[in-house]
Amino acid sequence: MDSAGNAPDGPGVLAGMRTDHSRDRTTRPATPIRRLTAIGIGLAAVGAIALSSPQPMPALRLAAAAQAVTAPAEGAYWHTRTLWKGSAQQLGSGENRYWMEKQEVSESWTAPDGRTWSGYRALGMRPKSPADEQAWRRDDSPTSWTRTAEGKAVSLSAKPDKGRVQVVKDMKGVPVVGFHAGGRLLSYEQVQALPTDPAGLKAWIDKATRDPNSEVRDADREGVVRNALIFTLSGAPVKEVRAAAYGALPTMPGVRSLGKVKDSQGRTGQGFSIDSEKGFGKSRQKHAITATERLVVDTGTMTPLSFEVKTMMDGEPFPAKTSTRVTLQIGWTDDKPAVPALP
């Protein structure tokens, strides 16, 4: 894709990259997480899982990054496609009220040389549950709203937009280059140099948080390491590294194995319950708000199936702050970056 956002004309350049991995790209320095916080839409490319890492990851040199690459890329791009549901609003009137939630589809494509593109498309408001859909239909199935059930002014639509696709850049307009793995932006060669045993990968990430220039506080360190492991499940194009992240997760405080579970799409995977660090506490209205998180992993591919955030207010479900991110596709592809198609 050129500077105007057009995809490459053919696989020739990328094919050459996949067969020649000994170039000096191996010495490209890893990029710390703190740069990622300014990327905006590019954050969808790190795995499309909504997480709340309390502090950015520091810079850390990769001593092993110059090792020879042993496995070529299996396609032109490492690709993820995800569906997000959340930010619900209660609409309707009187006794016929219903929750409608925003839905968005996002995709990312990272070439073996680290160039990354991100696609996004808002799908509009959709009923949150079958009961909400019935109430919405009783309301004559409106496709736009200007008021919530409580009378708050809003501008909401049920119609999808045209979507967009673009090169991922930081706030300075500099293209973001690398794969999100181990809490860092790494080259493909550097990802392959990461430890492939759970204890080793966990130790590598923990060491990165202890860099002298780190902005990670001791109180936040465990949360940063844990979230880096979760991001690695979708950002690392090397299965052995993803498997190490999966193996390290249950050793983290606040992570509890749920065994085999089904996600919102009915797919079976290994579930994890994760203590939330959102720190809602008491709001100005003095309501007790808490959140729990659930990750479901496909252990065949070692990739995430879904990540859910369920929020409670005063012990009751709080749909306005409950969300789900579902992985629709993940893996290598030769398909060029394009505006996301409707699910």
User: pLDDT tens digit string along 157-191?
Assistant: 999 999 999 999 999 999 999 999 988 899 999 99
- Burial of residue 279, with CB atoms counted within 10 A of its CB: 0-12 exposed, 13-18 middle, 19 or more buried: exposed
Q: For residue 206, is it within any domain?
A: yes
Average pLDDT value for the chain: 81
Range of the domain at 21: 14-73+110-117+167-331
Percent of the chain exceeding pLDDT 70 equals 76
In this model, does residue 15 exceed pLDDT 60? no
**Which string of DSSP letters, residue by residue, matches 300-332?**
TTTEEEEEEEEEEETTEE-GGG-EEEEEEEEEE
Q: pLDDT value at position 103?
A: 96
Q: For residue 137, is it within any domain?
A: no
Least confident range from 114-118, 195-199, 208-212: namely: 208-212
Q: For residue 267, is it within any domain?
A: yes
Q: For residue 288, is it within any domain?
A: yes
Q: pLDDT value at position 133?
A: 97
Q: Tell me what the mean pLDDT of segment 31-39 comes to.
A: 39
Helical pair 198-209 and 239-248, crossing angle rounded to 10 deg: 80
Q: Tell me what the mean pLDDT of segment 66-70 comes to.
A: 44
Q: For residue 80, is it within any domain?
A: no
Tens-digit pLDDT profile for residues 235-260 = 999 999 999 999 999 999 999 999 99
Q: Which of 282, 279, 224 is nearest to 253 (CA)?
A: 224
Q: pLDDT value at position 277?
A: 53
Asked if residues 226 and 256 have their Cβ atoms less than 8 Å apart, the reply is: no
User: At which residue do the structure tokens 């909504």 appear?
Assistant: 50
The Cα 153–Cα 149 span in angstroms is 10
Alpha-carbon separation of residue 68 from 24, 28, 141 (angstroms) = 10, 14, 59
Alpha-carbon separation of residue 34 from 39, 57, 170, 281, 334 (angstroms) = 10, 6, 11, 26, 31
Q: For residue 247, is it within any domain?
A: yes
Q: For residue 226, is it within any domain?
A: yes
Q: pLDDT value at position 26?
A: 32
Q: pLDDT value at position 71?
A: 73
Domain count, the chain: 1
**Which string of DSSP letters, residue by residue, matches 151-211?**
--EEEEESS----EEEE-B-TTSPBPBSEEETTEEE-HHHHHTS--SHHHHHHHHHHHHTS
Asked if residues 58 and 214 have their Cβ atoms less than 8 Å apart, the reply is: yes
The Cα 340–Cα 343 span in angstroms is 9
Q: Which of 142, 128, 135, 75 is nearest to 329 (CA)?
A: 75
Of 56-70, 289-303, 310-324, give the range with the top mean pLDDT: 289-303
Q: Tell me what the mean pLDDT of segment 334-340 comes to.
A: 98
**Which string of DSSP letters, residue by residue, matches 259-291?**
EEEE-TTS-EEEEEEEE-----EE-TT--EEEE
Q: pLDDT value at position 89?
A: 95
Q: For residue 207, is it within any domain?
A: yes
Q: pLDDT value at position 37?
A: 31
In this model, does residue 61 exceed pLDDT 50? no
**Which string of DSSP letters, residue by residue, matches 292-303?**
EEEEEEETTTTE
The Cα 298–Cα 268 span in angstroms is 7
Asked if residues 71 and 297 have their Cβ atoms less than 8 Å apart, the reply is: no
Both tokens of residue 157?
């639509």
- Which residues are CB-contacts of 316 (< 8 A; sequence separation ≥ 6)? none
Q: Tell me what the mean pLDDT of segment 71-90 comes to.
A: 94
Q: pLDDT value at position 285?
A: 56
Q: How far apart are the first and last CA of the chain?
A: 24
Tens-digit pLDDT profile for residues 105-164 = 999 999 999 999 999 999 999 999 999 999 999 999 999 999 999 999 999 999 999 999
